[in-house]
Structure 1
Amino acid sequence: MKISILGTNGFLSTAIAKYAISKGWTLEMYGLQSPNDHTCDVFHLVNLMNSEMDCTSLLDSDLIVYAIGAGIQANLKEGYNLIYNLNVTAPVTICNKLKELDYKGCFVTFGSVFEMGATTEQRYFTEQDVLTSLCPAPNDYTVSKRMLSSFVSSYKHDFTHWHFYIPTIYGAGENPKRLIPYVVNAIKNDEELHFTAGDQVRQYVHVSEVPRILDLALSKSLPSGIYNIQGSETLSVKEIVTKIHHAMGKEVPAGCFGSVQRADAGMKYLALDGTKLKNAIGFEAEKSIEDTLNDY
């Protein structure tokens, strides 16, 4: 079994790589830097902003995972060209190259629940809901991911291509400015906390669930298609902050909500309906936020 991962030191790519190592798979990685937190059998230096990738080295891979992206972390202020090139142009080009080279394995890309946009509905959204949403998009990240999903849903290919819509992924090693590590670190260091009103609802899946899905998809010969990954918990920001405080033996301080604004605050309810994937391979998320707090 050989897996090739495009993207080396990202949060998701690292989790997939570590899982591959634990399974004894041959692992090749492609990116700007060699892996920092694990080993691999072969590393390929690739800069997708400067040149088109030579895909011939991918052809003997049973599984290729495109885990490169830009724009998800607003605080990084990544440029428009970077966002659209890495989220749309590069994966589309690779898809077409793999088709041209008659690739026979499985290719993986990722969409996002953020593609729903600023919806006012409060329910779990199906793959079709996300793919066809016309709700306002708050940023270029959302627009670029919609573009990729639209392409994947329509283009013709002979290899297997899975496109997974993911909710908010979390776990040890994620960006410390994201919600869960931000709260945990502030409590540990006795620092002030500042949030939006806290009423926006998000669905959460632990990062380790994603490589488990890929393994299941391979073993069950999952057909090509777009699939939702449904997280184990769907909670408001207030509920998450309260849950973390109580797990750490603290009470939520007064006045911490409503003190900041975020661009995604208009997306009030973002949750995925994972029925399609569950019926296909039997996947159900297992880990909870409270169970994994010690990892931080």
Structure 2
Amino acid sequence: MKVLITGASGFLGASLLKAFNTLGFSIDTLGRSNDNQIKTDLVNMATKLDTSYDLVVHAAGKAHMVPKTPEEEELFYAVNVKGTENLLRSLKVIPKYFVFISSVAVYGVDHGTDIRESHPLQAQDAYGKSKILAENIVQQWAELNGVKTTLLRLPLLVGENPKGNLKTMINAIRKGYYFNIGQGNIKKSMVLNDDVVNFIPKIMEQGGTYNLTDGYAPSFKELSDTISNHFATKSVISINYQMIKPVAMIGDLIEKITKLKMPINSLKLSKITKPLTFNDDEARAQGWNPREVLKHKELWLN
């Protein structure tokens, strides 16, 4: 099978490249670094790709940043929307299968439980809106060209050398300044990187739109205890919400004035005090059988 992967140097893309090589696929990668067979910037891409691909996995995208200026917001649209348009336009030979790596951010909710794929796409932030637009572009192109397409909406990705909020949490626990709010019983959906990767060859022929989670959604206390025990650090303390709320507001003010990223602000406080879980029954009906993140800490803690 001939495969094109975008974003192969990214967190998920690197795992895709490794797994697909193991499967014996013939792979081209597309990106800005010299490691790619096709070195190009999707935002400014004007070249045409002559190769005939059976499968294209579009994992490139901009994430893990809260924009503070209009220019930073525009980056999400440039990479996630224009970049997707340019990729599709560049494919001179239409592939059989196309997999787009999307995000649960498209739902535009900061709390909720058991959220399904049928939930309205109502994101208002730059990242979520850019993913909605990109999904629409992919679906319209796929319908026009008869391509079997899969959209994977992912929550927090967990794997070797984790990124984003999980990386921040691990570092804070190791240095002894992490704390839970209240009982730390707020649950969040997450999923193992490798499980997502291994599902792609199974689901690409079926197509569709799917939430992927580990099916358990650990609480902050369960997650922090797992990390703390692994590194043999002191137990994570809990702080009353009313005590930390003014600190978060001060963090907002400092960020507004200095543009510096603070360890706690109102947005982060909201995220760690409200449950956010997603339903993956649609994927399970198609053979999705993930592992629980907490039961496989060897895959993401080292």
Structure 2 CA distance for aligned equivalents of residues 28 and 117 of structure 1: 34
What is aligned with 1:285? 290
Amino acid at match of 1:82: L
Residue 253 of structure 1, CA deviation: 2.9
Amino acid at match of 1:143: K
Equivalent residue for 1:192, pick from 177, 180, 187: 177
Equivalent residue for 1:72, pick from 64, 87, 98: 64
Residue 26 of structure 1, CA deviation: 1.3
Maintained 8 Å contact 2:180/2:236? no
What is aligned with 2:211? 228
What is aligned with 2:39? 45
Maintained 8 Å contact 1:167/1:231? no
What is aligned with 1:172? 160
Distance 1:16 1:47, change over 3 A: same
Match of 1:128, SS state, is coil
Maintained 8 Å contact 1:247/1:290? no
What is aligned with 1:106? 97
Structure 1 CA distance for aligned equivalents of residues 231 and 67 of structure 2: 27
Maintained 8 Å contact 1:243/1:290? no
Structure 1 CA distance for aligned equivalents of residues 215 and 2 of structure 2: 29
Residue 62 of structure 1, CA deviation: 1.7
Equivalent residue for 1:253, pick from 218, 225, 237: 237
Maintained 8 Å contact 1:8/1:32? no
Amino acid at match of 1:277: A
Residue 117 of structure 1, CA deviation: 1.8
Maintained 8 Å contact 2:154/2:213? yes
Residue 179 of structure 1, CA deviation: 3.6
Structure 1 CA distance for aligned equivalents of residues 240 and 32 of structure 2: 39
Residue 154 of structure 1, CA deviation: 4.9
Structure 1 CA distance for aligned equivalents of residues 181 and 62 of structure 2: 24
Tell me the TM-score normalized by structure 1: 0.79
Of all paired residues, the percent bearing the same amino acid is 19
Match of 2:189, SS state, is strand
Residue 285 of structure 1, CA deviation: 0.7
Structure 2 CA distance for aligned equivalents of residues 4 and 262 of structure 1: 40
- Residues 59-208 of structure 1 correspond to what in structure 2 (within 5 A)? 60-74=52-66, 79-95=72-88, 98=91, 101=92, 103-118=94-109, 120=111, 122-129=112-119, 132-134=120-122, 137=124, 139-154=125-140, 156=143, 157-175=145-163, 178-188=164-174, 190-193=175-178, 201-208=187-194
Distance 1:112 1:212, change over 3 A: same
Structure 2 residue runs without a partner (length 5+): 248-263
Distance 1:126 1:153, change over 3 A: farther
Amino acid at match of 1:182: T
Structure 1 CA distance for aligned equivalents of residues 121 and 95 of structure 2: 32
Distance 1:10 1:196, change over 3 A: farther
RMSD of aligned alpha carbons: 3.0
Residue 288 of structure 1, CA deviation: 2.0
1:242-266, Cα deviation, whole Å (9 max, x unpaired): 3322444442135497452253654
Maintained 8 Å contact 1:193/1:256? no
Residue 46 of structure 1, CA deviation: 0.7
Structure 1 CA distance for aligned equivalents of residues 173 and 74 of structure 2: 38
Maintained 8 Å contact 2:158/2:293? no
Match of 1:285, SS state, is coil
Amino acid at match of 1:251: S
Structure 2 CA distance for aligned equivalents of residues 284 and 215 of structure 1: 14
